[in-house]
Amino acid sequence: MILLFAGISACTGPSPKEAQKKVTFSIPETTVNLIIDSLKQKVGATGIVRLEKGVKHAASLWRAEDGSAEDFASFCKINYVADESQRALLFEKVSKIFESVYGHFNKITLDLKENVDLNNGPMLEIDKEFSGYSIGSHLLTDLYTNKIAFTIALNFPYFTLDEKEKFDPSLSRKEWAMARLGDAFVSRVPADLEQAASKAGAGADLYISEYNIEMGKLRSDSGKQLFPEKMVLLSHWNLRDEIKANYGNKSNGSEKQEMIYKVMQRIINQDIPEKVINNPILTWMPFANKVFENDKQITCPAEPDNRYQQILNNFRAEKAIDAFSPEMNTFILRKFSGEMEIPQADVEILFDEYLRSPQLAKVGAIIEKRLGRSLRPYDIWYDGFKARSAIPQDELNSKTTSRYPNPKAFEADMPNMLTKLGWSKERATYLAAKITVDPARGSGHAWGASMKGEKAHLRTRIPETGMDYKGYNIAVHEFGHNVEQTVSLYDVDHYMLNGVPNTAFTEALAFVFQSRDLKLLGYNNVGKDQEKLDDLDTAWSLMEIMGVGMVDMKIWKWLYANPQATASELKSAVQTITKEVWNTYFSPVFGIKDEPILGIYSHMISNPLYLAAYSYGQIIEFQLEEHLIGKNFANEIDRIYMQGRLIPQRWMEGAVGNKISVKPILNKLDKALN
């Protein structure tokens, strides 16, 4: 929740003056030790660890503007709460206030972004300005100024991930919630840096949300039109989904896929003509890279390196914050050890282990046999193992467009969908009443509430002709997010434990829902041996998403090694990184070298270092699906997600009895291959 207000990236980056800000004041260690010694008599032997951590952590956050070292000593002696019953009362009061503050700020943030996120009419420049405004950017500054932050840090100190992993298994839920309260004040970042990050994060989101390709305006080199006149696809999500949709198209499916792949290459290389982006007027031949207006060829310069400038802006904003995060002084550390609570090195080791699995080449051979041709780079999105691949796309589209002509139709059907998945009518009504569906301007997303009484939002993009199957499939995915967001807020015993350990755990439930989309449409038992095919599909899609996650991590490592890089230099580096990752892990499977396709993902632009969460989401999804066999689906989902925001491995052990691992997937893959 704190991260919501801190922002994730920057549009223009901080000024050189801001980037040079440093912490210049600290409480002397001798003063800290004297404070601890003076308070030891109050706490007794059992409270020494909490006392020492609290005083040291509060001291690390104290600045010159907060007062002298003597002022800090006086503050600690007055505000340290030694009595556990009084500390518990303090915890309850702070939790209630935080729910109100976070909840209302979340609601205001939704309102500020509404005209950019939702398809509710023309977008004005003022809408973009409001979208980039962080209503909570001064919250932390104010809480430090009025000393509330120090009272909380002193009595509910921050525990590192390593320390949390060593917590006694018998630790109570309330003690876990108190530890989560300690996460509220880990570092002290100036409000202007947070505001700059938030404003530019909105700029990166906007850049991606308006990156539409007018498919009806694409032509082959011979002038052939392959796509419907009014088809508009957002990069990269819709382009990828159109590739998936054409595996069942025997007439010109591969021709369409090759054209989409060429468009992707143009975007990655930034030689796409700038004026064809989101432009329904011009006609474009992506292979020849020629542009026409009224059937006359025109000169159209390539898009400048805007794509890579967005990544640079994100990096510069986060690097400016590094100096104010002593516990996690790089964005990489903050995203993994901090936000994800899985060290980046562990993530990379897990990905490397899986991507080198010899079984993946065997899956690739099966796909080649099914396709009747050699693998192409875009076959990282091969969709033929899914049950829906046996159902004509037109049939699926007909069902979804008639059932869901607009967002409110989808919203009205949510209780029915939940009962089909096993929830009682009463429970389904309870959950669905806390979720609302909005028309998205971009690809869509799920946005949870942050206090009881507010609703989670499912944003989905629905054309005038109704929700096609691809859009429906994505909407069911987002619905899974919303169910998690609702259960883990409304049904968790302590507010400070609301949510999940990290985004991978909400992605897992979204994937679980998405895999049941056909069931929700009334299709059952669509093919024999579907379980084995599902295992092959999971293994293949996990390879794809791990590959792009590996690229994302390597890009940020390169940025920290080359902090003065230009957008052009970054573009060259990304092209090199994507090819290196491809050659290491994908070339042995595909038999092709030096492919850049892993660089197409929009997440790298608007949501940096998020992609790893998708891989963990699929791993967790697989373990959840294994656990759910033979059990009541709805009851188990409720029980599992009522755990709230424990650390990842503790959550997983509580959910299925085992830690996060790729071994179950590989074992199941072996059986499917055999």
Helix/strand/coil (H, E, C) string of 154-172?
A: HHCCCCCHHHHHCCCCCCC
pLDDT of residue 348: 96
Residue ranges of alpha helices (H) inside 326-406 are 331-333, 344-355, 359-371, 393-403
pLDDT of residue 187: 86
Full DSSP string of 222-245: T----S-TT-EEETTHHHHHHHHH
Give the strand pairing for 296-298 and 283-285. Answer: unpaired
Q: Write out 523-538 in H/E/C secondary structure.
A: CCCCCCCHHHHHHHHH
Inter-residue contact 669 to 363 (CB < 8 Å) = yes
390 by Cβ neighbours in 10 Å (0-12 / 13-18 / 19+) ranks as middle
Q: Which of 540, 544, 567, 543 lies closest to 555 in space, CA to CA?
A: 567
User: CA 196, CA 253: separation in Å to the nearest integer?
Assistant: 45
Give the strand pairing for 435-439 and 456-460. Answer: parallel
Map residue 298 onto helix, strand or coil.
Answer: strand
pTM, entire model: 0.80
pLDDT of residue 24: 61
Bridge partners for 284 per DSSP: 218, 291
Residue 324: how many other CB atoms lie within 10 Å:
17
Give per-residue pLDDT as tens, 119-149: 888 899 999 889 888 888 788 889 999 999 9
Q: How far is CA 40 from CA 43, 50, 85, 154, 541, in A?
A: 5, 11, 18, 14, 56
Ranges of each domain in the chain: 2-195, 211-269+271-304, 341-382+528-673, 393-520
pLDDT of residue 248: 86
Residue ranges of alpha helices (H) inside 277-358 are 306-322, 331-333, 344-355
Map residue 284 onto helix, strand or coil.
Answer: strand
pLDDT of residue 13: 40
| Residue in the block written with tokens 């309850």 | 92
Largest CA distance in the chain: 87
pLDDT of residue 23: 57
Residue 289: how many other CB atoms lie within 10 Å:
15
User: CA 375, CA 380: separation in Å to the nearest integer?
Assistant: 9
pLDDT of residue 436: 97
26 by Cβ neighbours in 10 Å (0-12 / 13-18 / 19+) ranks as middle
Q: Which of 475, 493, 494, 492 lies closest to 435 in space, CA to CA?
A: 475
166 by Cβ neighbours in 10 Å (0-12 / 13-18 / 19+) ranks as exposed
User: CA 495, CA 180: separation in Å to the nearest integer?
Assistant: 10
pLDDT of residue 528: 61
630 by Cβ neighbours in 10 Å (0-12 / 13-18 / 19+) ranks as exposed
User: CA 555, CA 604: separation in Å to the nearest integer?
Assistant: 9
Give per-residue pLDDT as tens, 503-550: 899 999 999 999 899 999 999 866 567 888 989 999 999 999 999 999
Q: Which of 639, 643, 612 lies closest to 627 in space, CA to CA?
A: 639
Give the strand pairing for 212-214 and 232-234. Answer: antiparallel
User: CA 9, CA 609: separation in Å to the nearest integer?
Assistant: 11
Positions in the chain short of pLDDT 50? 1-20
pLDDT of residue 5: 40
